[in-house]
């Protein structure tokens, strides 16, 4: 059934989501914050987001909206694809304009720094119980450029309301995109939020000249660390072994283009955090994610040696092969 969908966030991932939703036959409205309206102008004039997704033609049934209220009017589904640093603020501003039966979908990977909690919990506290029950999260290995090129992509979709999950899955699924349903919102959220911590660690292995033997062992331990924290919060350990955990870490940590992996590689080569950030020339989300993850682990009394080692490197300690080897010592 044809739906009206609002996508909040006209970055590369928000735009590619608007693209596949429109190609699936739905009416799509896209909004971006007031300080960055150029992507909306480009989408409206050229049917292309030259700023964040250049070279990709967009369907004409993607309608840019400068007003948040206009974007949300009549929307059956609202997808939040803004940066994690502003997601809470955007959501709270959007609440008065949400339709009564709207399904809320979070596409943003990260956690609320202030409360050290996942965003669906933040959302649920701001709306009535019926709408809170319909909150959905989608996460997994999905590089925007590859999804835009219709490379086969598989992600997890999580929610407490099976009917809402089914509706969103039907809206999104097509010949190159498939969503795997689960009710484990916590596990799916944590996998997306903390994959960058371990991408930095695996990048450090690259910088230190460690091979696949070391990286494979580190990856297995990383999934275990995330799973322990997830279980402590009420999540399921098996979720982190699926596309939302293991799959997302692999997609980020093994990609040569990954900013977090490259940052870790620079740390492994002896650069400090400032120099490594300058070399990457992009925001390294894993720096903040590591601090949040350690705070969460401490709250639940869980030892996380890999994340702790990453924090030591971020804080300026020169990490050696011997430091990495101690992670495997039992």
| CA distance linking residue 140 with residue 16, whole number of Å | 15
Q: Cα separation of 107 and 139, whole Å?
A: 7
299 is catalytic: no
Residue whose pair of structure tokens reads 């909306």 in the numeric block: 40
Catalytic residue among 160, 195, 269, 321: 195
Which tokens go with 109? 């990977």
Q: What is the dihedral of CA 234, 173, 125, 112, to 10 degrees?
A: 70
CA distance between the termini of the chain: 55
CA distance 18 to 7: 6
- Tokens at 125, concatenated: 């506290």
Lookup: tokens for 118: 């996942």
Give the β-pairing of 62-65 and 27-31: parallel
Quote the crossing angle between the two packed helices 259-268 and 305-314, to the nearest 10°: 70
Inter-residue contact 58 to 15 (CB < 8 Å): yes
| Distance in angstroms (rounded) separating the CA atoms of residues 158 and 16 | 20
Q: Which helix (H) or strand (E) holds 188?
A: helix 185-208
| Residue 205: partners with Cβ closer than 8 Å, 6 or more residues away | 214, 215, 218, 264, 268, 324
Q: Is 103 helix (H, G, I), strand (E, B) or coil?
A: strand
Point out the residues that are catalytic: 195
């Amino acid at each position: 059934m044809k739906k009206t969908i609002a996508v909040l966030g006209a970055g590369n991932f928000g735009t590619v989501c608007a693209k596949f939703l429109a190609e699936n036959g739905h009416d799509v409205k896209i909004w971006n914050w007031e300080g960055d309206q150029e992507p909306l102008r480009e989408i409206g004039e050229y049917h292309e987001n030259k700023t964040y997704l250049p070279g990709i033609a967009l369907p004409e049934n993607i309608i840019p909206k400068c007003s948040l209220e206009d974007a949300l009017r009549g929307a059956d589904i609202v997808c939040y694809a803004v940066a994690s640093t502003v997601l809470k603020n955007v959501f709270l501003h959007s609440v008065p304009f949400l339709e009564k039966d709207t399904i809320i979908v979070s596409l943003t990977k990260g956690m609320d720094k202030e409360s050290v909690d996942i965003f669906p919990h933040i959302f649920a506290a701001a709306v009535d119980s019926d709408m809170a029950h319909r909150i959905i999260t989608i996460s997994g290995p999905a590089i925007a450029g590859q999804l835009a090129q219709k490379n086969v992509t598989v992600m997890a979709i999580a929610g407490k309301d099976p009917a809402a999950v089914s509706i969103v899955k039907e809206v999104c699924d097509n010949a190159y995109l498939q969503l795997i349903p689960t009710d484990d919102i916590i596990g799916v959220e944590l996998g997306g939020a903390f994959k960058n911590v371990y991408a930095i660690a695996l990048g450090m292995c690259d910088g230190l000249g460690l091979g696949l033997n070391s990286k494979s062992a580190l990856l297995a331990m990383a999934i275990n660390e995330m799973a322990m924290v997830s279980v402590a919060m009420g999540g399921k350990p098996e979720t982190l072994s699926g596309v939302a955990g293991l799959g997302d870490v692999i997609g980020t940590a093994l990609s040569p283009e990954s900013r977090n992996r490259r940052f870790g590689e620079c740390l492994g080569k002896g650069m400090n955090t400032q120099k490594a950030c300058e070399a990457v020339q992009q925001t390294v989300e894993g720096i903040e994610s590591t601090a949040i993850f350690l705070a969460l682990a401490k709250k639940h009394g869980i030892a996380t040696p890999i994340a702790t080692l990453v924090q030591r490197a971020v804080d300026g300690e020169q990490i050696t092969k011997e430091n990495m080897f101690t992670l495997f010592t039992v």
